[in-house]
Amino acid sequence: MRLEPKPAPSLALTLLFPIAAIVATLLITSLLVLAAGASPLSVFYLVAKGAAGSQFALLETLTRATPLIFTGLAVAVAFRAKLWNIGAEAQLYVGGIVTVVLGTGALPLPSIILIPVIMLAVMLAGGLLLLGPAILKTRFGVDEVVTTLLLNFIVLLFVSMLLEGVLKDPMGLGWPQSQKVIAEAQLPRIIQGKRLHYGFVIAIVSAIVVWVIMKKTVLGYEMRAVGHNPEGARFVGIPVNRVLMKTALLSGGLAALAGFSEVSGLKGNLTLDLSPGYGYSGIVVAMLAMLNPLGVIASAIFVAGIFVGADAMSRVAKVPSYIADVMVATSLLTMVVAILLTRFRVRWR
């Protein structure tokens, strides 16, 4: 078997591949639905209905997509420069920590100043958390995959320590949770009485900003060059290490915003279950979007829809909601194969 490069595909073809990957995912996971003794068509219909079948469902999907847009962007930015940030989960929690540290009354400022201040601090903290592994990579040659993965466990234990210690809510009836952030630190709801909050708008704006950075600035160009060919980039005078540092700050900062937006916009406080793996799902979101920042919006909504829809489905059909996680993981693998097929033609001898 051989792989031969082929010319760059047209835009229509490029859009077709994610769809092909999703169809392949549905076919593969329908085997599991059959194993569960249900009909794939009705189960997938129930998932789709649960994700987008009503105003409530649709708003819920967009609410769930919000943190995924942030973590998806974080991964897209890092992977573009081949900085393998698998630590978005930890960066998200650090964002949550900073939000409750600054947002529970320490800074008595009006909303219009307080929220930007918190966001900046959150991004800085998340960025610094990824800067560590990035420096270990460039200085010592330590693989950042392992360090960022291990940091996920360390940070989660750190959060647990804070929630049972200095950040513990005295009125929390003993639960490991922080105090609620003050009203000035809360992101308002977009529609009164619904859960969708302005974090979603910030996520969309972030995606556009990241897109501009990646496509229109020198930094974006350098990041792509470093990701494409670090040796070549170094040869033409791009400061590879410095570009990786900047990438780490941006990527970690974006992931941390997911934690900020969940605390300030949705949950109000920090708990140990702030994220059901948004950091890891962000990898799938970024790959489904082929690392395109604007594509991240669409793929985050799609992945969120699977999770929200599967929750609704599993209440009706006897198929465990874990089918959503299987579908998301499968779509990651089908997608990388699909991307390969856009670039190469498989020749069987």
Which residues contact other proteins (rule: CB under 8 A)? 1-3, 32, 35-36, 79, 84, 86, 136, 140-143, 145-147, 149-154, 157-158, 160-161, 164-165, 280, 283-284, 287, 318-320, 322-323, 325-326, 328-330, 332-333, 336-337, 340
Q: Which is nearer to other proteins, 110 or 318 (CB)?
A: 318
Q: Which is nearer to other proteins, 39 or 160 (CB)?
A: 160
Q: Which is nearer to other proteins, 149 or 182 (CB)?
A: 149
Which two structure tokens, joined as six digits, stand for 298? 């669409």
- Amino acid symbol at 233: A
| In the complex, minimum distance from the CB of residue 279 to other proteins, in angstroms, rounded to a whole number | 11
What are the beta bridge partners of residue 345?
4
| In the complex, minimum distance from the CB of residue 82 to other proteins, in angstroms, rounded to a whole number | 9
Which two structure tokens, joined as six digits, stand for 199? 């974090």
Q: Which is nearer to other proteins, 57 or 339 (CB)?
A: 339
Q: Are 206 and 68 in contact (CB under 8 A)?
A: no
Q: Which is nearer to other proteins, 316 or 337 (CB)?
A: 337
DSSP 197: B
- Amino acid symbol at 189: R
| In the complex, minimum distance from the CB of residue 332 to other proteins, in angstroms, rounded to a whole number | 4
Q: Which is nearer to other proteins, 172 or 320 (CB)?
A: 320
CA 223 to chain centre: 19
d(CA 212, CA 205): 11
Q: Which is nearer to other proteins, 216 or 345 (CB)?
A: 345
In Å, how far are 91, 180, 298 from 45, measured between CA atoms? 35, 38, 20
DSSP 189: B
Which two structure tokens, joined as six digits, stand for 288? 């489904």
- Amino acid symbol at 299: S
Q: Which is nearer to other proteins, 36 or 204 (CB)?
A: 36
d(CA 180, CA 263): 9
| In the complex, minimum distance from the CB of residue 88 to other proteins, in angstroms, rounded to a whole number | 12
Closest CA to 304 of 264, 269, 266: 266
| In the complex, minimum distance from the CB of residue 319 to other proteins, in angstroms, rounded to a whole number | 8
| In the complex, minimum distance from the CB of residue 113 to other proteins, in angstroms, rounded to a whole number | 34
In Å, how far are 128, 190, 193 from 197, measured between CA atoms? 27, 5, 10
- Residue 211, CB half-sphere, CA atoms under 13 Å: how many? 15
| In the complex, minimum distance from the CB of residue 245 to other proteins, in angstroms, rounded to a whole number | 18
| In the complex, minimum distance from the CB of residue 227 to other proteins, in angstroms, rounded to a whole number | 11
Which two structure tokens, joined as six digits, stand for 320? 């465990």
